[in-house]
Amino acid sequence: MSANILLQTTIPDAFDDWNIRRFSKLAATLAETHSVTKRNLQRSEDGIDETLVNLAEHGFDQVWILGVDGGEGLNSTEVAGLSRFWSAGHGLLIARDHSDMGACLLDVGPIGHAHYFHSKNQDPNESLRCRDDQDTLSIEWPNYHSGPNGDFQTIEVLKPDHPLVWNAETKHVLQEFPSHPHEGSVGVPPGCSNAELLVRGTSKVSGAKFGEVVAFEECKEHGRGVAESSFHHFADYNWDPRLGCPSFVTEQCSSQVLRNPNRLGDVQAYIQNLGRWLS
């Protein structure tokens, strides 16, 4: 079933940042079977992104939010708009990354509380509230090192029967995602019986396990939803480092994706699964 999907970042258009143009391959993969609108945060004179506040009026079936801001990207009115959209039974995906990136999304509802941050809604496992990536010291935990940009990580699929984690082309459960030196982490919120942790990653530094994908089934309170540990699973730079990245990204990247582009098949299948399932 074709869906009308909004891909939206939590920052205004900025060339030297993770603006929506840096997710062109994600958009193209979804556009193979769905209608896709791509946009950055755009506020009117009253300081509100009217599209986020009135999502239903624009006919969207799903919203994919890329939480690329430092923590205060969306205001309370915009967050309330997302919450209303999800509460009305529509599909919602929230992908963020390390530390407090996308922390403004905490109040969207249970899908916000599936994300663990540095300064709020911390991982309930206190032993994991510590630095994992040891190279980029300016980035605080959670910052799990699943591998360099431009490389792959082996993922652990906890619910192999779930439709999100099946690669129909190769007829196997997903095995790999693009890696990133400092991913965030997700988990099932307390008392949330309609959510389950589908995928875990493993730090290549400490061996620590961290949640990468939490899926929410539709219920009377909200539609289907997915909490993602890192938007870098979807970013152009992680699929093809030649496409570049913001200047503040200084870590050495790998050439594994360029050498083995067919290995992106798992994440591409995952994206197609998300497009179908969230509707």
Q: How far apart are the first and last CA of the chain?
A: 8
Chain segment 9-34, per-residue pLDDT in tens: 999 999 999 999 999 999 999 999 99
**Are the C-beta atoms of residues 140 and 118 closer than 8 Å to each other?**
yes
Query: For residues 79 and 101, what is the distance between their CA atoms, to the nearest angstrom?
Result: 15
- Bridge partners (DSSP) of residue 215 are 196, 226
Query: For residues 194 and 215, what is the distance between their CA atoms, to the nearest angstrom?
Result: 8
Going from the N-terminus, what domains does the chain have, and what CATH number goes with each? 4-277 (3.40.50.880)
Mean pLDDT of 103-112: 97
Give the list of residues 6+ apart from residue 1 with CB closer than 8 angstroms, or none.
Answer: 276, 279
**Are the C-beta atoms of residues 109 and 92 closer than 8 Å to each other?**
no
State residue 235's pLDDT score. Answer: 98
State residue 250's pLDDT score. Answer: 94
State residue 46's pLDDT score. Answer: 94
Query: For residues 2 and 33, what is the distance between their CA atoms, to the nearest angstrom?
Result: 6
Mean pLDDT of 183-190: 98
Cis peptide bond upstream of 142, omega within 30: yes
Confidence of residue 142 (pLDDT cuts 50, 70, 90): very high
State residue 22's pLDDT score. Answer: 98
Mean pLDDT of 244-273: 97
Question: What's the farthest any 2 CA atoms get from each other in the chain?
Answer: 51
Model confidence at 1: pLDDT above 90: no
Chain segment 62-91, per-residue pLDDT in tens: 999 999 999 999 999 999 999 999 999 999
Chain segment 207-231, per-residue pLDDT in tens: 999 999 999 999 999 999 999 999 9
Query: For residues 100 and 156, what is the distance between their CA atoms, to the nearest angstrom?
Result: 25
**The two structure tokens encoding residue 35:** 């209608």
State residue 216's pLDDT score. Answer: 98
Nearest residue to 61 (alpha-carbon basis) of 92, 29, 83 = 92
State residue 97's pLDDT score. Answer: 98
* Number of Cβ atoms within 10 Å of the Cβ of 272: 18
The DSSP element (H or E) to which 144 belongs, if any, is none
pTM for this prediction: 0.97
Please provide residue 8's backbone torsions phi and psi, each rounded to the nearest 5 degrees. Answer: -140, 135
Mean pLDDT of 239-264: 97
